[in-house]
Amino acid sequence: MAGLTSFDERHGDGAARPAISVIGTGYLGATHAAAMAEMGFDVIGVDVDPAKVAALSAGIIPFFEPGLPELLQKHVASGRLRFTTDLAEATALSDVHFICVGTPQQRGSNAADLRFVDTAVEQVARALTHDGVIVGKSTVPVGTAARLQRLVSLLAPAGIDAELAWNPEFLREGKAVGDTLHPDRIVLGGASERSEALLRMVYAAPIAEGTPVVVCDLPTAELVKVSANAFLATKISFINSISELCDLAGADVSVLADALGHDVRIGRQFLNAGLGFGGGCLPKDIRALMFRATELGAHSAASLLQQVDEINMGRRQRIIEQAVEALGGSVLNRRIGVLGAAFKPNTDDVRDSPALNVAAALHLRGAQVVVYDPEAMDTARRLFPTLSYGESMTDAARGADLVLVLTEWTEFIEADAAELASFATSTLIIDGRNCLDRAAWESAGWIFPQTPAAVDAQQQEIVGSRTTRARNIPAIAAS
Ligand code: UGA
């Protein structure tokens, strides 16, 4: 291949498929690499962690993601997908280099930590042996890609045409495989005619399915990603603030959300009120956007996001207060069963998990907390080794003075409520995700603490009918 640098020169008539490297093999990179192999490309995944590379090479995904192990094993076996720690080798063998490394929140700041992205782009640019396109998929603050584009042209070896484009990722954990194979849009930022053609070849399968392609400049591509997450976060905090109003007025927020969702301009998704959002993306992305907006002087965007974050964090506090009040003012030495540790169902990810945050806060107040999660027990144990863990829902409910449902796993929603009630000392339950069929659980003997409006309504009903029925239902304050 000496002397041949362009894709067409190296691959002949243009019918050949570009070879792909994927730098960073976490949630995003591992899924992207396996999906690219499924789309028919030769893919090399690169990671600095030899243990991760060894696991992936053996067909083992070091986290829970439905459908991903099967896809990985299929393509490791077919030889289309392999993993290495040798970035220079992977770069030399590939034409399109996807950057999928993490951009965590910096310690002590809301800003994103860009060290991993900077290093990955720099190393690929230096290692190029022929023309190539470096494609950023990581979530970065607006302005980063333009800076990296300048870096790439400085560092790429002379005579090699190196480009940088931005192609943000919108996959959801728990649905990562489907989201990657069938994305709802493909955003190509800052691509030249040549790199756009190459990327259209890479995404030929979803494009043929009708997935829209949005071609734009680098800052727009960077902002599409963080604005999407900011909008989703805003939608959740909106319904959570309306839910506070519902509690005070005696309205049902779930029915209200259904009614809102029938309006196609609004839509029903991301209107589930409850404990709020967590995970490795929404919280850090809105904070990084807030930070960047302040830097750029976009103060109204920054203050909107600040409010969204505050409403969201307030939800965790509210559940803690509800638990304290339901137990008569103190949780000290009271047994609390916590159902759920993952930040949402169908994942074992506990990064910034509202469920674990609440469990840990109650533990700190002296409660004997027993946590159960269908998939996130190991990740939760690693993060909060001092909490107690049960092996089943029954373990969590056994002897409990109060049960909290903090992640809406199907296992909890479909549980035998009457059987579970038989294990609890007191059948008090707080549904932190509004996911249970309340009437069914009540008829199985569970007691949901009441909001002040509901208590008022009951008292009026009692006074009105002159009954003296004793109701042993604790009242809780709305936030
Ligand atoms: C999110 C975005 O949805 C993806 O599009 C994006 O690609 C990804 O971040 C990312 O930036 O990588 P993810 O973090 O997997 O995906 O989780 P979501 O499904 O968005 O849920 C986030 C949180 O919101 C969860 O804690 C969930 O319980 C909560 N949520 C969601 C609600 O509280 N209410 C809802 O109605 C929906």
Of residues 15 and 85, more confidently modeled? 85
CA distance 355 to 337: 12
Q: Are 179 and 158 in contact (CB under 8 A)?
A: no
Mutating to test ligand 1, I would choose from 281, 315, 409 the residue with most ligand atoms within 8 A of its C-beta, which is 281
Give me the pLDDT at residue 13, please.
Answer: 54
Give me the pLDDT at residue 470, please.
Answer: 38
Nearest residue (by CA) to ligand 1, atom 28, is: 344
Q: What's the rounded mean pLDDT across residues 278-298?
A: 97
Q: What's the rounded mean pLDDT across residues 197-202?
A: 97
Nearest residue (by CA) to ligand 1, atom 19, is: 172
**Mean pLDDT of the residues in the chain:** 93
**Tokens for 425?**
């000392």
- Asked whether residue 472 carries a pLDDT value surpassing 80, the answer given is no
Q: Name which of 152, 314, 345, 151 is nearest 240 in CA terms.
A: 314
Cα 134 to ligand 1 centroid, rounded to whole Å: 27
Q: What does CATH list as the number for 226-315?
A: 1.10.1040.10
Confidence band, pLDDT 50/70/90 cuts, at residue 450: confident
The number of residues in the chain equals 479
Top-tier CATH class for 7-216: alpha beta
- Asked whether residue 73 carries a pLDDT value surpassing 80, the answer given is yes
Q: Are 188 and 134 in contact (CB under 8 A)?
A: no
Nearest residue (by CA) to ligand 1, atom 18, is: 172
CATH of 318-465, one of 3.40.50.720, 2.60.120.10, 3.30.1330.40, 3.40.50.2300: 3.40.50.720
Confidence band, pLDDT 50/70/90 cuts, at residue 370: very high
Confidence band, pLDDT 50/70/90 cuts, at residue 192: very high
% of the chain exceeding 70 in pLDDT: 91
Nearest residue (by CA) to ligand 1, atom 16, is: 172
- Asked whether residue 474 carries a pLDDT value surpassing 90, the answer given is no
Candidate list 100, 216, 246, 281, residue with the active-site label? 281
Give me the pLDDT at residue 15, please.
Answer: 57
**Which atom of ligand 1 is the closest one to the Cα of 408?**
28
**Which atom of ligand 1 is the closest one to the Cα of 172?**
15
Active site residue 246: no
Give me the pLDDT at residue 56, please.
Answer: 98
- Sequence ranges of the domains in the chain: 7-216, 226-315, 318-465
Nearest residue (by CA) to ligand 1, atom 29, is: 277
Give me the pLDDT at residue 177, please.
Answer: 98
Give me the pLDDT at residue 98, please.
Answer: 98
Confidence band, pLDDT 50/70/90 cuts, at residue 6: low
267: left (phi over 0), alpha (psi -120 to 50) or beta: left
Give residues (CB < 6 A) around ligand 1.
139, 169-173, 229, 232, 236, 270-272, 274, 276-279, 281-282, 285, 343-344
Question: β-strand 368-372 against 213-216: which pairing, if any?
Answer: unpaired
**Which atom of ligand 1 is the closest one to the Cα of 344?**
28
Q: What's the rounded mean pLDDT across residues 386-392?
A: 97
Give me the pLDDT at residue 1, please.
Answer: 38
Q: Are 323 and 336 in contact (CB under 8 A)?
A: yes
Q: Write out pLDDT tens, residues 401-429.
A: 999 999 999 999 999 999 999 999 999 99
- Asked whether residue 14 carries a pLDDT value surpassing 90, the answer given is no
Mutating to test ligand 1, I would choose from 169, 172, 352 the residue with most ligand atoms within 8 A of its C-beta, which is 172
Q: Write out pLDDT tens, residues 304-332.
A: 999 999 999 999 999 999 999 999 999 99
Of residues 65 and 451, more confidently modeled? 65
User: Among 208-222, 382-396, 459-473, whose mean pLDDT is lowest?
Assistant: 459-473
CA distance 392 to 381: 15
Cα 277 to ligand 1 centroid, rounded to whole Å: 7
- Cβ-Cβ contacts under 8 Å for 108 (sequence gap 6 or more): none
Give me the pLDDT at residue 16, please.
Answer: 79
Cα 84 to ligand 1 centroid, rounded to whole Å: 30
Say how far residue 379 (Cα) sits from the centre of its chain: 15
CA distance 333 to 175: 39
Domains 226-315 and 318-465 are alike in CATH topology: no
**Which atom of ligand 1 is the closest one to the Cα of 271?**
36
Q: Which residue has the tokens 């029938």?
A: 262
Nearest residue (by CA) to ligand 1, atom 36, is: 270
- Asked whether residue 467 carries a pLDDT value surpassing 50, the answer given is no
- Asked whether residue 479 carries a pLDDT value surpassing 60, the answer given is no
Q: Are 341 and 393 in contact (CB under 8 A)?
A: no
